[in-house]
Amino acid sequence: MNDSLNFCLTFETGLTSLITSFSRQISLGLATDYVLSPEAIPHVTVMKLNTPSARAAETWQKLLPSLPPRLSLRFDGLRMLPSKAGDVWMEISVARSAELQLLQEMAARHLHSYGIRGEIGDMWRPHVTLLHSVDGRLPTNLKLEKTLLMAEDVVATPTLGKDLPPGLLADILHRPDL
């Protein structure tokens, strides 16, 4: 399977542009295989599914009756996650709220037969991935955008999208406002 589905939260155009611009700015001069762009949409993954995007309409119909049209999120700073292999992921941490937890639990109930993959429940760490530095180098002139990284009342929309390795949200397939 080349693609799969990602049930996630996406943002309004202005915030999407701001996050993408920040990702691209901090990636300058780094060896990366993941940077946000028009082909890699900023998002918070709620649940990844081992289901091809060809089944998106069917999957969306399972979720739609229980979805809120919007959620309010709080960004909680910048996180860097180094691995034993020497690479580093950079992300915006998203505060884990009761509303987010309930959304994931609802999705797990409705979509358990679609092959859930990734972390759910206590292991889930909501975030917006900014970049992946394959050699572990970090940005040299990191200007912290506190208004972005610590934003409160971030409006997010439940979305079903096409997921491509290494976790790129490549296309929005369904959203309540589409």
Mean pLDDT is lowest, of 21-25, 79-83, 165-169, for: 165-169
Q: SS3 letters for 43-112? A: CEEEEEECCCHHHHHHHHHHHHHHCCCCEEECEEEEEEEECCCCCEEEEEEECCCHHHHHHHHHHHHHHH
φ, ψ (nearest 5 deg) of residue 29: 85, 0
Residue 2 scores a pLDDT above 70: no
pTM score: 0.94
Mean pLDDT is lowest, of 58-62, 83-87, 114-118, for: 114-118
